């Protein structure tokens, strides 16, 4: 029985606790940290690798499938030079990484179980990272990484919740701890993989990402006895199910739930969430320039010299990508404290207003870079402009991303909550594609004009969110 398996799992978890949480959480934290290290390490190098090496004419001909992919993209977007093509490929990769988890979750629920899917995903991603070192396998490596991430990502996150009984109040804190692992891996990745790739060789950077994924897999396999067992797949409605009273009860309950019609206010909420899908996509399309065109700005238009005690050190381009996860650590306590202070005085902004403020932060971040571009008409801009950009962008992210997740769970009808959460998360999928398309204009426009375009899109997203306040009054 499923319930018996779950109760055994929770008793086992309680018998092996560390710092007030099941020991399995520590292993899942470490596994996710190394997976994110591998993902962000490879991603920190991806655009530079394409523009400076693998998509150059002398190398592009050796990449299997590149001519066909470029031809397909040019049928839609017209002729693509090296930079626009690299941006489109980056957008496809980023978008599909957030699309395949839908199928990874379904396969885990219905066929393989969460444990096997995590292992399959980790193996595929490790293979993909090592394949990146061989230029003919570049596109095949991206495919391995996309599929592997789809197998891995939804299933390791779900296992965190499986460590706790349904009413255990520690569950929310566990996910906060787990989120720290994500950002710790994202912080270390560009400092290690990015620096190796830039200064030693591309293969070393991608190889480091592969090693990180192997470490994560080893940690996960060592923890299997501490993790919740897979629940058997549900097969409501089969002849075998109906032969048992509990099976017939499940079928009747499912049919009864399916027949319940939604109230008018619930339909209005669903409509508002679907409308907000558009500005959320716009936000992520602008935000994801961080790993695309912002890397190019840091590489070619930024004075990366850091002077300390008379020594002059050049900051590696990819190291700038460590600013955002570091600032998430640094700023989150202050943002939460601010909201608590405002709540005590009755001035805390509504959820929708916070999301609009997040878009304002995004807009201001790109206005900062537009100003930097004007000042850098002759010479390069100081790296402090990028520091300011990441600071303001991170505050905008904290006002929109976690708040948006809370918003969906607060408003969505209970019987449709998971589906609508999936729709909400799919904005990272559409936002990834949009980021690739917008980035293709980088080499066709003056940099100041490009940043102003991104800022305008962020502002439009904010106004669209504010326009929904009337529908979502009081939220």
Structurally, how many domains does the chain consist of?
Answer: 2
Answer yes or no: do 36 and 121 share one domain. Answer: yes
Average pLDDT score, the chain: 84
Answer whether residue 248 is part of any domain.
no
Q: Is the model's pLDDT at 86 over the cut of 80?
A: yes
Answer yes or no: do 212 and 268 share one domain. Answer: no
Answer yes or no: do 23 and 166 share one domain. Answer: yes
Answer yes or no: do 194 and 300 share one domain. Answer: no
**Mean pLDDT computed over 188-204:** 94
Residue 6, pLDDT score:
45
Residue 112, pLDDT score:
85
Lowest average pLDDT, out of 72-76, 317-321, 452-456, 467-471, goes to 467-471
Domain stop point among 207, 231, 255: 231
- Given pLDDT bands bounded at 50, 70 and 90, which one contains residue 170? confident
**Mean pLDDT computed over 354-358:** 93
Q: Ranked by mean pLDDT, which of 100-109, 409-418, 444-453 comes out on top?
A: 444-453
Residue 7, pLDDT score:
44
Q: Is the model's pLDDT at 14 over the cut of 70?
A: no
Percent of the chain predicted with pLDDT > 90: 52
Q: Is the model's pLDDT at 445 over the cut of 90?
A: yes
List own/partner pairs for 104-108 with CB under 8 A and 24 or more apart: 104/150, 104/151, 104/152, 104/153, 104/154, 104/155, 105/154, 105/155, 105/158, 107/151, 108/154, 108/155, 108/158
**Mean pLDDT computed over 83-109:** 89
**293-352, pLDDT tens digit by residue?**
999 999 999 999 988 777 888 889 999 999 999 998 888 888 888 988 998 999 988 888
Q: Is the model's pLDDT at 454 over the cut of 80?
A: yes
Q: Phi and psi for 168 in degrees, rounded to 5?
A: -70, 120
Answer yes or no: do 152 and 282 share one domain. Answer: no
Q: Which residue has the higher pLDDT, 437 or 308?
A: 437
Answer whether residue 246 is part of any domain.
no
Domain of 364, CATH number, reads: 1.20.1250.20
Q: Which residue has the higher pLDDT, 147 or 164?
A: 147
Residue 108, pLDDT score:
82
Answer whether residue 470 is part of any domain.
yes
Residue 443, SS3 per DSSP: coil
Q: Is the model's pLDDT at 465 over the cut of 80?
A: yes
Q: Is the model's pLDDT at 414 over the cut of 80?
A: no
Answer yes or no: do 98 and 3 share one domain. Answer: yes
The residues that bridge with 307 in the sheet, in sequence order, are 312
Do 239 and 175 form a contact (C-beta atoms < 8 A)? no
| CA 212-217-223 angle, 5° bins | 130
Answer whether residue 2 is part of any domain.
yes
Answer yes or no: do 53 and 172 share one domain. Answer: yes
Cα of 400 vs its chain's centroid, Å: 14
Closest CA to 153 of 104, 111, 187: 104
Q: Which residue has the higher pLDDT, 110 or 16?
A: 110
**Mean pLDDT computed over 86-100:** 92
Answer yes or no: do 279 and 416 share one domain. Answer: yes
**35-80, pLDDT tens digit by residue?**
999 999 999 999 999 999 999 999 999 999 999 999 999 999 999 9
Q: Is the model's pLDDT at 4 over the cut of 70?
A: no
Q: Is the model's pLDDT at 3 over the cut of 70?
A: no
Angle formed by the axes of helices 170-189 and 138-162, nearest 10°: 160
Strands 311-314 and 305-308: antiparallel
Closest CA to 208 of 230, 185, 229: 185
Residue span of the structural domain in which 380 resides: 264-475
**116-158, pLDDT tens digit by residue?**
989 999 999 999 999 999 999 999 999 999 999 988 888 887 7
CA of 318: how far to CAs of 225, 285, 314, 323, in Å?
Answer: 38, 20, 12, 10
**365-404, pLDDT tens digit by residue?**
999 999 999 987 667 999 999 999 999 999 999 998 888 8
Answer whether residue 242 is part of any domain.
no
Answer whether residue 378 is part of any domain.
yes
Answer yes or no: do 347 and 435 share one domain. Answer: yes
Q: Ranked by mean pLDDT, which of 1-10, 92-101, 432-441 comes out on top?
A: 432-441
Answer yes or no: do 409 and 334 share one domain. Answer: yes
Closest CA to 202 of 63, 49, 319: 49
Answer yes or no: do 271 and 393 share one domain. Answer: yes
| CA 193-56-43 angle, 5° bins | 25
Answer yes or no: do 223 and 165 share one domain. Answer: yes
Give residue for tokens 């994924």. 213
Whole-model pTM: value is 0.80
**227-259, pLDDT tens digit by residue?**
877 655 545 444 444 445 555 555 555 555 445
Residue 161: Cβ within 10 Å count: 14
């Amino acid at each position: 029985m499923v319930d018996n398996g779950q109760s055994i799992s929770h008793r086992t978890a309680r018998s092996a606790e560390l710092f007030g949480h099941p020991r399995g959480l520590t292993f899942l934290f470490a596994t996710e940290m190394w997976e994110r290290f591998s993902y962000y390490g490879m991603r920190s190098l991806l655009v530079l690798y394409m523009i400076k090496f693998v998509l150059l004419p002398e190398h592009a001909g050796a990449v299997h499938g590149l001519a066909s992919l470029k031809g397909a993209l040019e049928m839609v977007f017209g002729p693509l030079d090296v930079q626009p093509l690299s941006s489109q490929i980056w957008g496809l990769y980023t978008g599909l990484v957030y699309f395949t988890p839908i199928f990874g979750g379904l396969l885990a629920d219905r066929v393989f179980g969460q444990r096997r899917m995590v292992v399959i995903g980790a193996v595929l991603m490790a293979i993909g990272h090592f394949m990146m070192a061989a230029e003919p396998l570049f596109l095949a490596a991206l495919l391995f990484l996309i599929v592997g991430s789809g197998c891995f990502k939804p299933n390791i996150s779900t296992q965190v919740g499986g460590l706790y009984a349904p009413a255990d109040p520690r569950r929310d804190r566990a996910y906060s701890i787990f989120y720290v692992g994500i950002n710790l891996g994202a912080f270390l990745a560009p400092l290690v993989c990015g620096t190796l790739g830039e200064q030693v060789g591309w293969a070393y950077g991608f190889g480091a990402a592969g090693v990180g994924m192997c470490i994560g897999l080893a940690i996960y396999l060592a923890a299997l006895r501490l993790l919740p067992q897979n629940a058997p797949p549900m097969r409501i409605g089969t002849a075998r199910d109906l032969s048992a009273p509990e099976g017939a009860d499940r079928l009747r309950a499912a049919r009864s739930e399916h027949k319940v019609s939604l109230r008018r206010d619930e339909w209005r909420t669903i409509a508002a969430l679907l409308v907000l899908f558009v500005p959320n996509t716009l936000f992520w399309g602008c935000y994801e320039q961080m790993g695309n065109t912002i890397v190019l700005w840091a590489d070619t238009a930024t004075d990366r010299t850091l002077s300390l005690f008379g020594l002059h050190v050049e900051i590696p381009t990819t190291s700038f990508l460590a600013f955002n996860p570091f600032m998430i650590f640094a700023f989150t306590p202050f943002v939460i404290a601010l909201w608590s202070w405002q709540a005590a005085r009755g001035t805390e902004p509504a959820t929708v207003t916070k999301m609009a403020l997040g878009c304002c932060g995004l807009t201001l971040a790109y206005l900062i870079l537009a100003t930097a571009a004007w000042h850098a008409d002759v010479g390069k801009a100081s790296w402090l402009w990028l520091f300011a950009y990441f600071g303001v962008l991170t505050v905008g992210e904290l006002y929109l991303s976690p708040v948006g997740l809370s918003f969906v769970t607060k408003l969505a009808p209970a019987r449709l909550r998971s589906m609508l959460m999936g729709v909400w998360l799919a904005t990272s999928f559409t936002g990834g594609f949009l980021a690739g398309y917008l980035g293709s204009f980088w080499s066709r426009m003056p940099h100041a004009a490009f940043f102003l375009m991104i800022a305008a899109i962020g502002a439009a997203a904010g106004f669209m969110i504010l326009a929904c306040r009337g529908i979502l009054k009081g939220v």
